[in-house]
Structures are given as structure tokens and as C-alpha cells.
Amino acid sequence: MTKNRETRDRDRRPRKRRSPEAGGSSSRSAGLLIAGSVVAAAAALLTLVSAGGAMSSEAPVEGLVFGLWKVLYATEAPAPRVITAAIAVALALAAGVALLEQRIGNRSRRSLNINTKPLAPKVIMAATRGVYAGPVTVTVLIPAHNEEASLPLTLASLMDQSHPPEKIIVVADNCTDGSVAACRAAGVEVFETVGNTHKKGGALNQVLSQVLPGLGDNDVVMIMDADTQLDDGFLESAVRRLSQDRALMAVGGLFYGEEGHGMLGQFQRNEYVRYARDMRRRRGRVFVLTGTASVFRPAALRAVAQGRGLSLPGKHGDVYDTAALTEDNELTIALKSLGGLMISPQECTVVTELMPTWRTLWAQRLRWQRGALENLGAYGITPQTMRYWAQQLGIGYGVIALGSYLLLIMLMLLALDEWVWFPFWLGLGAIFTVERVVTVWRAGWRGRLLAVLIFPELIFDMYLNFVYVKGVIDLSVGRQAAWKHVQHPASSAAAKTAAMTTTPGSHP
């Protein structure tokens, strides 16, 4: 049985990906599939619950909304069978996704197929056995487009690391401000892109085509955003892990939000704290190698470039697929598809910028949402994308659930003549409140205070749900997406940069 499986595995060869022209059709199919699946699931659940009929104690009460519309409502808790069914379905789905992800990960790690899984741990270990590639060195690439205001703190966080990088290269992409001059004044190498029209991915492809050929297996590359600061110990931890495990292909960071921006900033900080908590519970298993800061082995990036146009989407020879709106999500799926071993350890943390206005937040999240859906459309349903499909379906179902919950509350408030306390819903609300506070405990008292109020965060969640719906609709109808760059206000940052004359690698 094992032999037959290995034979089938050897015979598999990388399949050629669909043409770029077919990409739009695939993306639209992904949007329609997710939207249709979510609506169908919600309709099926409603049908099943309704099919049971109401108990005598659940006899609905009739009321009026605005004195115009008659509505029926029940003042009883849901029937035990409904509660039991809901809990059972939730547990079954969560366990199913976790087991599926574990099984897929185990199969990738054990693969010996150099054609379909060239980055699988067993393949890498066999290829590097008995070979010493020297100490791990770090080259940092920072793509920047008019980042004069944010670059000083980014560079300072690199130079202050307990294990500073051996080289820093700022990739200046169509900069019209003082970014280039500021970096050179700080002693940092600058790579200026030429004729790039593909934003961040295109800029990184240009510099990687120059840098990668000269790197050894242990000369790792960190790619980080120009508006991000590393916490001390990030590079030391990453280098230690890469030194100890030669099969490890990438180390990702865990990000949290910068200070400021009032309540909108606190909403985002709470959201990032919960995300980091989820990542810790996954014990370092990577969901997305964040674009804020992640470290890669050259072999991993070369394998991705080699696979583009064959087993992976994109142009052959490019590390980044320039058609992807969320290049970090796409690169993560690419590495997983090739069997790469990755980790996001707790000690590798970064501070990232927050969106200062609701408008910029809308643009950022719409890009993230569209990018995630388009990546699923580009890869289709594969073992490596199952977890991401499940996430999108879960978000879609959450949109319907939260929207229905808030709508029913509003109808109840409008239909009742007097305030009524419902013990069941109060108890459920208390459990929900505890969950909200516990999951943001590391956000401090301001984060906990916002969480305990519940409704402000529910409104924020509904805002994100509208973004999700907009993204699905735009994708389904083939509407074009676009990048929007956040303009940072002028500050004294340039002066800080000029003061940093210490060369990379020699800073105390």
C-alpha cells in the first residue's frame, strides 16, 4: 500500500497554472462559491430549525414596529434541541478543520517528492546532510514608497536589535519625497526601482533578482514594511531557530498595533491582540507569513520563483505574483504548496501602523479581503488552501449570524411595550463578555474597558462585515480592485534619520 502511494507520488508532476487571462474568471468563481455556500448554509439551518415546529411554551407574541409592521417574537429561550444542535455543529466543524490541517501538514513534512514538494523537510534534510553553509546572516529588504516619515523608527528598530542585520537595503519605489536622501544619510543602502508598475511585489521582484543569486543557503532574507518596528530579540530568535533547524524555510512575525488614533486605534489593537493570541494557541503554526516582517531562506524564495507559471500562479522567475493584492498571503500559500516548513514564534513580535481614519481602514481591509479571495481563486481547492476556504466561509456565516442577532434585538426593542429581562440571553451575554475581555487582556485597561462594553466592538465587527460583503460582491461582478497608500504626515522623522550615522551591523 505504501509502495503504491509512493509510486503515485513520484509520477505526479507540477501542473501548469491557468493563464493570467483566466485569473479573473477563477477569482469571480471563488467569490460566487463562497457567497452561495454561506447563503445556502444559513438557509439550510433556518429550514432545519423551522421544521421542528414551535413548542407550546414558545407561542409567539405579536407586536408592531413603528406602528406599521406586525412582527412575531418569542420571549422564551431556544429549545434544548436547538442549543444542542448548535453546539454539536460548532464543535464538529472546529475539530474537522483542525484535524484536516494537521493531516495535511504531516503529509507535507513526510513527502519525498522533489517535483511537487521541493521544500518538504525530508527533501531539504537529505539535500543538505553533511553540508555546513556557514553562520546565518541577515539581509533586510524594506520596500518603501514615500516613507520618509516612518523609515527612521523602522531603521532604528533594526539597528538596535541584539542581533543586528548584516545588511539593510531600502527598496525605494517611485519615491518623490526625501526617503532616498534620508536613508543614504543614515548609511543605509538604497535600491531604486526602474520602471516598476506593479507596486510592492514588483519592487521586491526587482531587488530579489539582484540579491538572491549571491546568497548562500544560510544568508537569509528578511522582508519588512517601512512602517514597522521590530521588538528587540526578533532577529536573535529568528537566527537561533534557523541555525538549529536547517529544514526551516521561513520565520514569521506576530504584530500588534502602534499607540494612538483614539477609539478607532483601540479597536484595531484589540483585533491584533486577539489574532496574536490565536497564533500562540496554534503553537507557532503559520497562518500567514506577515508582510510586516518575515525571514526567508534563499532556497525557499528560489523554489517559489522556479515554480511560478508551473505549479504556482504568476510569472516564471518572479518571487512575488504581481497580480496578488495581498502578497504575503499569496507567498505563504505558495510556500505551503511546495511543502515548506514555517513558524511564527511568540518572541518574534513587531509593531505596525494602524489606519488613522475609517476611510483608510475601509480601503486597507477591502484590499486584504479581495486579496485573500483572489488568492483562493488562483489556487483553487487544494489541501493547502482548505484552511483558508474554511476561514472565508466562517467569516461569511458570521456576517449572517451577527447581522441577524442585531436585527432581532432592534425588532424586539421596537415591538415590546416595556423592557423585559431574558435570563437565557443575559447568561449568554455574560459568557460572551468574559470571552471578549479575556482575549484582549494583554491590550491593557483601555482594551479591556472597550471589550466589556460589548456593543462598540460589535459595531466595529459589523463595519468589517460590510467590508467583507463589499469584497465578495466586487469580486463576484469582476469589479477592479486598487491599492491605496496611506500618506504619513510630515514630522521630525527626517531629522532622526540624519542623526543615525551608524552603519548596519555595527550598531551597539
Beta bridge partners of 170: 142, 190
Please say whether the beta carbons of 333 and 341 come within 8 A: no
Lay out the sheet containing 349-352: strands in order across: 228-230, 349-352, 254-257
Whole-number pLDDT of residue 416:
75
Burial class (CB in 10 A: 0-12, 13-18, 19+), 214: exposed
Please say whether the beta carbons of 387 and 97 come within 8 A: yes
CA distances to 49, 107, 310, 311 from 115, rounded to whole Å, are: 49, 15, 11, 10
Whole-number pLDDT of residue 489:
57
A 10 A CB-CB count for 12 gives 11
Q: Which residues contact 69 (CB under 8 A, 6 or more apart)?
A: none
Please say whether the beta carbons of 243 and 217 come within 8 A: no
Q: Which residues contact 501 (CB under 8 A, 6 or more apart)?
A: 185, 186, 187
Q: For 108-141, what is the HEC assignment?
A: HHHCCCCCCCCCCHHHHHHHHCCCCCCCCEEEEE
Report H helices in 313-454.
327-337, 358-379, 386-415, 423-439, 444-452
Measured CA angle at 167 (ends 336, 132), to 5 deg: 60
Low-confidence ranges of the chain (pLDDT < 70): 1-28, 48-60, 65-66, 72-75, 480-508
Whole-number pLDDT of residue 100:
78
Whole-number pLDDT of residue 484:
61
Whole-number pLDDT of residue 481:
64
Please say whether the beta carbons of 357 and 264 come within 8 A: yes
Whole-number pLDDT of residue 492:
44
How far is it, in rounded angstroms, from Cα 471 to Cα 481?
9
Cell numbers given for 57: 411554551
Please say whether the beta carbons of 15 and 312 come within 8 A: no
Whole-number pLDDT of residue 119:
93
Burial class (CB in 10 A: 0-12, 13-18, 19+), 133: middle
pLDDT, one tens digit per residue, over 260-305 is: 889 999 999 999 999 888 888 887 788 899 889 999 999 999 999 9
Please say whether the beta carbons of 234 and 251 come within 8 A: no
Burial class (CB in 10 A: 0-12, 13-18, 19+), 284: middle
Please say whether the beta carbons of 376 and 37 come within 8 A: no
Q: For 350-364, what is the HEC assignment?
A: EEECCCCCHHHHHHH
Whole-number pLDDT of residue 483:
57
How far is it, in rounded angstroms, from Cα 27 to Cα 102?
27
Whole-number pLDDT of residue 95:
81
How far is it, in rounded angstroms, from Cα 192 to Cα 183?
12
Buried/exposed 117-131: b ≥16 CB within 10 Å, e otherwise: bbbbbbbbeeeeeee
Helix (H) or strand (E) holding 276: helix 262-281
Whole-number pLDDT of residue 198:
87
Whole-number pLDDT of residue 457:
93
